[in-house]
């Protein structure tokens, strides 16, 4: 006898991106791991449902049987988020994502990033805006990497991007959240999900981003270049969950320079004179 069909449980507090609900608020990159097995184990430990991938020229005439990333992370199990890492112009970014859409059988959720210079990998917002316009017109659902400028973030949202993804600090730097004030301005103004993308170094950074009210965090190097990537992936999962819950719970107001005991002041065995 067949087991009764279990309906999918509704997701409490889902992350909504382009009309789809996700359980995990951690998006994870697949670069810089030792091998595909480590990639797979780290992604599993992170609980991420959305994973970023890069699009690159295939090797011609050498090692035809090399393993493929998509064997380790099947698109049937994970939502692929192809990126435009390494693109320095709107045109290159658009071409790359059109190739990605063909590669992934029409999949249209993408991560747009157009870089400004190879030292900082800081986004070129002019080219990013241009590419976003073309891609949205072309039917893509664009999650967009950008600076932490609240005006640009709003413009990208107005163009029709499905998520804005400001940096916390430079890509791969692990410097943490440099400007929580700007992130809060962006969060306060946005009607689409705000995803901190880039700069997270360790679990507390991810928790802080979520406590600020970010909808999700995207990271790669913080996990891949940890001494133990799989353990760090697990830590990041907890940090994102903890930060989200703290945000939803609403923190206590800060009382600067004024302590307040948690235990009763009355009933002490040697009461202090008032």
Partner 1 sequence: MILPSRHWRFKVIQLSVNGQMQRVDSDANLARLLEALELSGKRLAVERNGEIVPRSQYANTRLAEGDALEIVVAVGGG
Question: Which positions are annotated as active-site residues?
Answer: 111
Report the C-alpha gap between 176 and 205 in whole angstroms. 6
CB of 35 vs partner 1, minimal distance in Å: 10
- Give the footprint of partner 1 on this chain (CB under 8 A): 29-33, 36, 39, 52-58, 60-61, 64, 68-70, 80, 82-83, 85, 95-96, 98-104, 171-172, 198, 218-221
CA 176 to chain centre: 14
Smallest separation (angstroms) from partner 1 to the CB of 2: 34
Nearer residue to partner 1 within complex by CB, 102 or 158: 102
Please count the other Cβ atoms lying within 10 Å of the Cβ belonging to residue 252.
7
Query: 26 has which bridge partners?
Result: 217
Q: What are the phi and psi torsion angles at 128 (to 5°)?
A: -65, -45
Count of Cβ atoms closer than 10 Å to residue 225 Cβ = 15
Residue closer to partner 1 by CB (options 30, 211) is 30
Question: Shortest approach of partner 1 to residue 33 CB, angstroms?
Answer: 6
**Separation between Cα atoms, residue 97 and residue 94, nearest integer Å:** 5
Least distance between partner 1 and beta carbon 242 (Å) = 23
Listed residue (55, 53, 49) closest to 17, CA to CA = 49
As measured in angstroms, the least distance from the Cβ of 229 to partner 1 is 12
Whether residue 222 contacts residue 205, with contact meaning beta carbons closer than 8 Å, is answered with yes
Residue closer to partner 1 (CB basis): 36 or 88: 36
Residues 113 and 145 sit within 8 Å (Cβ to Cβ)? yes
Residue 145 structure tokens: 């990497």
Task: Find residue 61's DSSP bridge partners.
Answer: none
CB-nearer residue toward partner 1: 88 or 247 = 88
CA distance 69 to 91: 26
Q: How many residues does the chain have?
A: 274
Cβ proximity to partner 1, 122 vs 247, nearer residue: 122
């Amino acid at each position: 006898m067949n087991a009764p069909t279990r309906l999918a449980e509704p997701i409490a507090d889902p992350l909504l991106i382009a009309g789809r609900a996700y359980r995990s608020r951690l998006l994870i990159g697949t670069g810089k791991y030792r091998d595909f097995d480590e990639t797979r184990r780290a992604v599993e430990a992170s609980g991420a449902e959305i994973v970023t991938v890069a699009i690159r020229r295939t090797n011609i005439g050498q090692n035809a049987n090399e393993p493929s990333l998509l064997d380790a992370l099947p698109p049937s199990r994970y939502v692929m988020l192809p990126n435009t890492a390494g693109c320095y112009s709107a045109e290159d970014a658009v071409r790359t994502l059109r190739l990605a859409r063909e590669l992934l059988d029409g999949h249209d959720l993408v991560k747009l990033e157009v870089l400004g210079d190879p030292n900082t990998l800081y986004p070129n917002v002019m080219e990013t805006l241009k590419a976003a316009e073309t891609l949205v017109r072309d039917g893509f659902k664009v999650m967009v990497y950008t600076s932490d400028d609240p005006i640009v973030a709003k413009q990208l949202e107005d163009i029709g991007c499905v998520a804005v993804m400001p940096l916390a600090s430079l890509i791969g730097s692990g410097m943490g959240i440099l400007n929580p004030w700007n992130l809060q301005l962006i969060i306060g103004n946005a009607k689409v999900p705000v995803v901190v993308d880039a700069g997270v170094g360790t679990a507390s950074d991810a928790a802080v981003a979520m406590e600020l009210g970010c909808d999700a965090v995207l990271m790669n190097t913080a996990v891949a270049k940890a001494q133990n990537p799989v353990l760090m992936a697990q830590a990041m999962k907890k940090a994102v969950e903890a930060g989200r819950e703290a945000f939803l719970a609403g923190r206590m107001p800060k009382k600067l320079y004024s302590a307040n005991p948690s235990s009763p002041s009355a009933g002490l065995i040697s009461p202090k004179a008032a």
